[in-house]
Homo-oligomer: A and B are copies of this chain.
Amino acid sequence: IARFLSKNWRFLEKAWKLGASEPRKVIHCLKVGVALSLVSLFYYMRPLYDGVGGTAMWAVMTVVVVFEYTVGATLYKCINRATGTFLAGSLGIGVHWVASQSGEKFEPIIAGIPVFLLASAATFSRFIPSIKARFDYGAMIFILTFSLVSVAGYRVEKLFEMAHNRVSTIVLGTSICICTSMLICPVWAGNELHLLINRNMEKLADSLEGCVAECFNRDGIVKTSDDDFSKKLQGYKFALNSKASEESMANFARWEPAHGPFNFRHPWKQYLKIGAAMRNCSCCVESLSSCINSEIQIPKFLKKNFSEVCMRLSAHCSEVLKEMVVTMKTMTKSSTTDLLVEEMNFAVQELQNALKALPNQLISPHGSANDTKVETTSKQFIVPVIEIVPLATTISLLSEIAARIEGIV
């Protein structure tokens, strides 16, 4: 029992930490409560209850099912649910009318066949990627309402009234949802996406810089192995793993109206492109860091030789990335970006020159005894260049994207 209690306690503690670190999630929970209480009012007040014909249940259901964390997701579900219900409802009534004209005996068959066919077709449409991204939920609701109306029509007499009630309660539920999610501390999917990309880019810049610094200061004066630093170093992993959340947020962001600095037709797809470019970069950082952790060490004289150039290059790279963050935040193309990219390319050139100069230096003071070492070390040093080639391309890509964003916003 003691173990069970302590387990429970730890679980609660974890939950509390989660809530403390992200107060907006707690606010979201309260919002759900508020929306539900608003809907419940329709039950408790006699005039309101009679107004919707006693089917207020659907409104409660709509609120629970539709209310999501971000405004975009809520809107997506609301619009899908409303249109799906409306379409399927009208179609269902049509089918029911045809079936009821055909006599008692054939009615189930004539009503049943469209259910089978349409349900299969709508399920299939959910597999098509372009529909899945936008209307997945709508297709489900379509199947649901259509089969409910056309099947229930066989038993329920006042079918038209039922359909009408269902549509009106759903509209009621969705409007309550939209109001609460948009008016009380709204969480915009677009804004979240924007912040996520910014945060990831910053982390990437930090970890790139940290990686190269670690590479050259390894047996330096300060053994920088504190937790904070290694966390920074792992920052690129966030950029690498956030593909799914980026995509879903970009998907939801499309449904949102203009908010804050974003217009209605904000180029959300550009964010996905930036995300992909960043994943590309973090792949390189990943390989770079795996080199650092390999057993082969860099000899000191080489380290001295190269550390300056490499450090400068990585500093320039992360500067460009950070400048990009600023550019994205203000959403204007700053004139310094080009300058910084220029500087970075210059640093790449410098590093290449240093590499070219290397063999001469080595051969003269050390002779061939050091040859094997040269290999292992140049192996170590070459990585940054390799790493920088795609980095440079992605960064030029990024600046192009920034120009485009600036052009549209």
Residue ranges of A at the interface with B (Cβ–Cβ < 8 Å): 14-15, 18-19, 22, 25-26, 28-30, 32-34, 36-37, 39-40, 43-44, 49, 54, 57, 60-61, 64-65, 108, 112, 115-117, 119-121, 123-125, 127-128, 140, 143-144, 147-148, 151-152, 154-155, 240-241, 243-244, 280, 283-284, 286-287, 290-291, 294, 355-356, 358-360, 363, 368, 371-372, 374-375, 378-379, 382-383, 385-387, 389-390
Contacts and interface: CB of A to CB of B under 8 A. Distances in A.
Contacts of A385: 379
B356 A371 contact: yes
Contacts of A371: 356, 359-360
A230 B243 CA distance: 24
Given A18-B127, A280-B286, A115 B356 contact: no
A326 to B, nearest CB: 27
B123 A29 contact: yes
Nearest to A355: B375
Chain A to chain B: the 4 pairs with minimum beta-carbon distance, closest first: A244-B244, A359-B371, A33-B116, A29-B120
Contacts of A32: 119-120, 123, 143
Contacts of A379: 355, 378, 382, 385-386
Given A64-B147, A117-B33, A15 B284 contact: no
Which of A108, A124, A294 neighbours the largest number of chain B CB atoms within 10 Å of its CB?
Answer: A124
B390 A375 contact: no
A147 B40 contact: yes
Contact of A143 (B64, B125, B144): B64
Nearest to A46: B155
Nearest to A248: B244
A269 to B, nearest CB: 17
11 contacts: A26-B124, A29-B124, A36-B147, A39-B151, A40-B151, A43-B152, A60-B152, A64-B143, A284-B287, A375-B378, A378-B379
A240 B98 CA distance: 52
A144 B173 CA distance: 13
Contacts of A374: 359
Given A115-B37, A151-B40, A30 B290 contact: no
A283 B290 CA distance: 11
A378 B382 contact: yes
Contact of A368 (B151, B359, B372): B359
**DSSP class of A's interface residues: helix, strand, loop or mixed?**
helix
Contacts of A240: 283
B108 A44 contact: yes
A260 to B, nearest CB: 24
Given A29-B120, A32-B120, A36-B147, 9 more contacts: A18-B127, A29-B119, A32-B119, A37-B112, A64-B147, A355-B375, A356-B371, A378-B379, A379-B382
Contacts of A112: 37, 40, 44
A128 B284 contact: no
Contacts of A28: 123
Contact of A116 (B37, B54, B65, B356): B37
A19 B372 CA distance: 58
A375 B389 contact: no
Nearest to A285: B283
A287 B291 contact: no
Nearest to A383: B386
A14 B43 CA distance: 48
A64 B14 CA distance: 36
Nearest to A152: B57
Nearest to A145: B64
Contact of A290 (B22, B108, B144, B390): B390
A25 to B, nearest CB: 5
Contact of A144 (B19, B43, B64, B390): B64
A234 to B, nearest CB: 14
